Structure 1
Amino acid sequence: MPFMDKVKSRVIVLTDISSVTGGFKEPDDGQSLVRFLMYANEFDIEGLIATHTNHWNGRKPEYIREILEHYGQVHGNLSLHDPAFPRKEELLRVVKAGNPHDGREFVGEGHDTEASEWIIAAAQKDDQRPLWILVWGGTTDLAQALWRAGNRNNPEQLARIVSKLRIYSISDQYGIGAWIREQHPDLFYITSYRNYRGMYKGGDVSLVTAEWLEGNITKQHGPLGEAYPIYQGGDVYGSKVHGIKEGDTPTFLYLIPNGLGDSEHPEYGGWGGRFQTAPNGSPCHYFDAVENLVEEHSDSALWASVYRWRPAYQRSFQARMDWCVKSPEEANHEPVVSVSGPLRRTVSPGERVMISAAGSIDPDGNGLSYSWAVYQEPGSYRGTLVLESGCEQQVMFTAPQVDTPQTIHIVLSVTNNGLPPMTSYGRIVVTVDPFSEEAVSLE
């Protein structure tokens, strides 16, 4: 099963995991961890850190290790699908314990932890790739790491460390996130306050039920599937949740290299949501962006940047769980998308543009279907763009007349006919520039 060479994201997870059992404490971190491990081949996982949780007096690294034991039992089969899946022993070595307490008073001299020192060491590695900190709980250990880095280094050295970090935090749990952003206005920091609830609210909710899980994840998919806890509880909206909650999952869905998003551009949007900077705020700090898929609840427009992709990411999860028990010949794998020309290009008003995906392939030899659409929210052009299709594999359009440069995001979805179908993407960002006498393509 051939895989395309990809530049993997470096990842450290901070989780306030408090349960791996449905109906006990808060098991949604356990849900997210199981799904995260199904994409472990896509990342360089440099830390799995248990942080303070309100559900226990301290933190629970043993829950991380318990799920890793289940992962270890299916690793042999996963590695047949992609040898890049890390061994259980490699992941156990990066399980660390954070501060058992939480709060601003636990940041400063005398509050270094195994976790905070691990974060500093990772940030100072001789590696040009950014280091992503995925926050599923509190940020006390991250705050301590930044404080200690500032204490040990001069301002220029600290700035270099901060420039390597990328934070994606689910809410400002336990209250220190806002303080970190105040202290470090240049720190790349995504905060999801509402859109993460699109994992289980809005859209096609038949894909998040206990029945869907039992049919596709928790039964007949090996020990790791059995370890997935079915959520039984509620949420801040007073809703009953029975099945998937996974409030932390968007942090790594955002980084999956499926061709849809761009991790350095939160405003583009993708499986992990779409974000924008606040008016008069730091250009490095991003918060929930509104989508146009408004439903019955006022927050639906915030959930939508996650739930709009739910059919595709649920089929992906379902297919990858098959990898735990099926051979590469029996299971389905993602198609590989190839788009003609640069993915970012500048054209003149009135110019005819043709984009082809004829070079796309499916590694299993399955048939492919192609869907082209304008993703309007991340672009600046608000008019109607007519996409013409001479054949399914290509699209043509006439660049609109504009008075100022405008951007248009065209998303190509390529789906195979395997069971379940899997989708990969191509995104072409077109700038229509009325001041350009001829098209200028940007790599």
Structure 2
Amino acid sequence: MTYTKVLLVLGIIGMLGIGAFFLPKGADQKISKPRVLISSDIGGTDPDDFQSMIHLLMYADLFQIEGLVSSPFGNGRKKDFLDMIDLYEKDLPELIKHAPSLPDPDSLRAVCKQGTILEAPYQGFSTATEGSDWIIKCATKQTDEPLWVLVWGGLEDVAQALHDAPKIKEKIKVYWIGGPNKKWSINAYAYIAENHPDLWMIEANATYRGWFMDPESPKNLKGKTYYDNFIQGRGAMGKNFKNHYGGEIKMGDTPSLAYIMNGDPNEPTGESWGGSFTAIDRSSRVIFDGNSTSNDTVAAYAELNWKFKGPDLRIAKDSVCFTLEISNQIWPGYYLGNGTYGVRYSSKKPEKGTYITKSAIPELDAQTGQYISTTPWPGKPTPDDYRLGPNWYSDKKEPELYIGDQQGAKTVSKHREVFLLDWAKRWQWISK
């Protein structure tokens, strides 16, 4: 052995010794990967979940993927996950040369589960699903590592799991892409905020938008040019990517995964690719007895809860008796008992809204009104607000962190360039 090789070997031994010296006594030197479960509305109303799923699969070597739960708004089903895994399987022979610990496709198929296909009724939960049961099963594994539940759609299956097994909140950490998902999932959200305020939760209502609002990005990393520069023609996943938004980068759910890829995920107020957040101790809610007017200003992302009086019917609570229409979208209204009827809504952004009800019950038909929602979230305290525990986080309020009217969005957009360049390296692993 030459003198140079001896020095090299001694140097390596020394570095190993130093590393071992600084490990805690008895510590397992194997670094565990974050445990991840995705609840997604893939295949539902927004095609960006397909883009986020492709990204997840390309980085799957960094995580223990324990669940892929289909919780759609609309037509999405578990099969949409399976279809994406089929594409991943085609590209895997090239990817695995660079990331040998990428998971076997069959192991991913085994954790695909069907969640609810209906929104939660007014009470916020309904009946158990394969998906909600799987959340419970994963959360109750004997391990000290938390289960990161990344919610890319509605909270229905999470709410159901918490209802059926409340103890799981001691084992899970939730990062939820809220905003428009909160609008559609407001009943499940209300149940969690009221009954499980001690949940560890990141409620990202606007921060995530910094991922696709890219006014300061270099030209080659713009949402409309990234596909042509880095993805086009690369394998089965690259070809499929073009099917969603014409290849324009949106991937609005990806910040939830990016959050645990870079930075300390146990410190939501710190820096990470998935944003930086602030602790909130209340969730804005306003209850209207009857109609609201344009004089009613509420916080964007708040729960708006209209209650109307009508006949005292002999029907089950949570029966749908009327609808509420806002901006050509319709929400069901429910019978609450004792002649009271209610409907919830949450605006996905600051807006001036007008609504109208429709019902076969005369007292509930053609009720109309307005409201104005503004930032920041949460808004001014009201007696109706949900009181939250010490581990609930949401969008930062500082004006300099807004992009337009999107609160906290710059805490994501500031990392967009380095994140996209990192992903571009992985696309290079797949040949054209």
Cross-structure match for 1:174: 185
Cross-structure match for 1:308: 414
- 1:297 alignment partner AA: G
- 2:421 alignment partner AA: R
- 1:44 alignment partner AA: Q
After the TM superposition, which residues 126-275 of structure 1 pair with which residues of structure 2 at under 5 Å, given as runs? Answer: 126-150=142-166, 158=167, 161-171=168-178, 172=182, 173-175=184-186, 176-205=188-217, 206=219, 207-217=221-231, 219-229=232-242, 231-232=244-245, 243-256=248-261, 258=262, 261-275=263-277
Extract unaligned runs of 5+ from structure 2: 1-28, 283-387
Report the CA distance between 1:177 and its aligned residue.
2.1
CA shift in 2, pair 1:225/1:146, >3 Å? same
2:401–2:411 Cα contact (<8 Å) kept: no
Report the CA distance between 1:6 and its aligned residue.
3.4
Highest Rg: 1 or 2?
Answer: 2
- 1:210 alignment partner AA: K
CA shift in 2, pair 1:81/1:190, >3 Å? same
What secondary structure is seen at the aligned counterpart in 1 of 2:404?
coil
2:276–2:396 Cα contact (<8 Å) kept: yes
1:231–1:245 Cα contact (<8 Å) kept: no
Report the CA distance between 1:74 and its aligned residue.
1.2
What secondary structure is seen at the aligned counterpart in 2 of 1:81?
coil
What secondary structure is seen at the aligned counterpart in 2 of 1:132?
strand
User: In the aligned structure 2, how far is the partner of 1:122 from the partner of 1:229?
Assistant: 34
After the TM superposition, which residues 352-367 of structure 1 pair with which residues of structure 2 at under 5 Å, given as runs? Answer: none
2:280–2:394 Cα contact (<8 Å) kept: yes
- 1:289 alignment partner AA: K
Q: Which has the higher contact order (CA 8 A, sep 6+)?
A: 2
User: In the aligned structure 1, how far is the partner of 2:258 from the partner of 2:243?
Assistant: 20
Cross-structure match for 2:53: 33
2:50–2:244 Cα contact (<8 Å) kept: no
2:124–2:191 Cα contact (<8 Å) kept: no
User: In the aligned structure 1, how far is the partner of 2:403 from the partner of 2:34?
Assistant: 36
2:402–2:410 Cα contact (<8 Å) kept: no
TM value normalised by structure 1: 0.62
CA shift in 2, pair 1:108/1:311, >3 Å? closer
After the TM superposition, which residues 249-398 of structure 1 pair with which residues of structure 2 at under 5 Å, given as runs? Answer: 249-256=254-261, 258=262, 261-279=263-281, 281-290=388-397, 293=400, 297-299=404-406, 302-325=408-431
Cross-structure match for 1:62: 79
User: In the aligned structure 1, how far is the partner of 2:403 from the partner of 2:52?
Assistant: 27
- 1:39 alignment partner AA: Y
Cross-structure match for 2:41: 16
Instruction: Give structure 1 regions of 4+ aligned residues with deviation exceeding 6 angstroms.
Output: none
1:81–1:323 Cα contact (<8 Å) kept: yes
TM value normalised by structure 2: 0.63
Identity of aligned residues (%): 32
CA RMSD across the alignment: 2.3
Cross-structure match for 2:128: 112
- 1:50 alignment partner AA: S
What secondary structure is seen at the aligned counterpart in 2 of 1:128?
coil
CA shift in 2, pair 1:304/1:87, >3 Å? same
Q: Name the count of aligned residue pairs.
A: 292
- 1:271 alignment partner AA: W
Report the CA distance between 1:114 and its aligned residue.
0.6
User: In the aligned structure 1, how far is the partner of 2:225 from the partner of 2:114?
Assistant: 35
